Amino acid sequence: MFLKMTPSEPALAMTQSANVSILRHGEKTIFLVGTAHVSRSSAEEVESLIREHRPDTVAIELCGPRFESIQDPDRWKNMDILKVIREKKAFLLLSNLLLAAFQKRIADRMEIRPGEEMLRAIHAARETGAGLHLADREVRITLARIWGKMGFFAKAKLLLQLLGSGFEADKIEEAEIERLKNQDALASLLQDMAGAHPVLQQVLIDERDQYLAEKIRTAPGKAIVAVVGAGHVPGILRYWESPVNLGALETLPPPGKAGKILKWGLPALILFLFAAGFFLGGRGTGMDMLTFWIIANAVFAGAGALAAFAHPLTILTAMAAAPLTSLNPMVAAGWVAGLVEVFLRRPRVSDMQSLSQDLTHMRGFWNNKATRILLVVVFTNLGSSIGTFVALPLMLRLLS
């Protein structure tokens, strides 16, 4: 059950706030405070609540990796860009960085560090002797579940929306800034995208609401302060008394059958079309089909690399690789182009040191060598995929 604070509860009356709900679970009393991740007043309210009630435990909306990173702003210095490309995580990492960039730009407009309320909660817990309880699902699992449920073009659409959000963040008017001070700016952005991407609503919001509800109500101690983004509060209240299977929410989704069929079936279809073109239409038709295939893949993959401001040799590599890699399910043109870009413009220590600052403006993604490599990988892969779907109807027309 959850209770609103009333004057009949004198020990709790001093915490009366529109942002705080009191929850009960057995003998536990949980103060659930909904925060805006870029609001100074939220940070101050969290710190005051913990110092006032001195709970046994402070539960925070962080997982292990995010808990470490929020305390270490220089974590980017240790990023292994080659490892990211080899593990095929460039798309995922770039999207994560774009989300972080949006939040950081809003926070800079408000003159507050992103995650300030979490840092205040951590410090206040340590000063009052409260235990810290990490209540959020690991970000790697959340992103992997999103990626596993989205097709390639849905990912591309999300990426473009995230890039667009960066420009929107720079244009937000002062009145909108004031409104965002009273809510979770990042949750607001994701809610806006959820209509176009139902997977975001399901995995990033609904699943995490369930996960947070279960982790908070099973936190150790009898008095608990739980600090979460305001966007999660309604969901936590909705799932408070519902059974939650944490194991199911922590499971990485298996590759979808449709993805496997497309991964191997599309190259097989293209090779079949080439064979049919030479056999049914003769050498001229077969060569025309091969020409369309090479030109479409090369042009669009090269355009993708060019859009990322890749080195000229990287662009040429992307153009040369795309017609071949599009027929090989195990290799992508973007991975080849990304590795070449790393060789030609290897990120320096200064690039890693300046990454946090470069995230504050969109041009920084292109100026910083580390993030530019991610753009090269993602944009080249996107261009190569577009080239494949442009070439197919042209090839079928020749065959018919």
For the chain, the three-class secondary structure string (H helix, E strand, C coil) is: CEECCCCCCHHHHCCCCCCEEEEEECCEEEEEEEECCCCHHHHHHHHHHHHHHCCCEEEECCCHHHHHHHHCCCHHHHCCHHHHHHCCCHHHHHHHHHHHHHHHHHHHHCCCCCCHHHHHHHHHHHHHCCEEEECCCCHHHHHHHHHHHCCHHHHHHHHHHHHHHHHHHHHCCHHHHHHHCCCCHHHHHHHHHHCCCHHHHHHHHHHHHHHHHHHHHCCCCCEEEEEEEHHHHHHHHHHCCCCCCHHHHCCCCCCCHHHHHHHHHHHHHHHHHHHHHHHHHHHHHHHHHHHHHHHHHHHHHHHHHHHCCCCHHHHHHHHHHHHHHCCCCCCCHHHHHHHHHHHHCCCCHHHHHCHHHHCCCCHHHHHCHHHHHHHHHHHHHHHHHHHHHHHHHHHHHHHC
Those residues of the chain that have pLDDT short of 50 are 1-15, 174-175, 177-178, 181-183, 185
* Residues 306-332: tens digit of each pLDDT: 999 999 999 999 999 999 998 888 888
Task: State the pLDDT at residue 205.
Answer: 85
pTM (global) more than 0.75: no
* Residues 4-16: tens digit of each pLDDT: 333 333 333 334 5
Task: State the pLDDT at residue 216.
Answer: 96
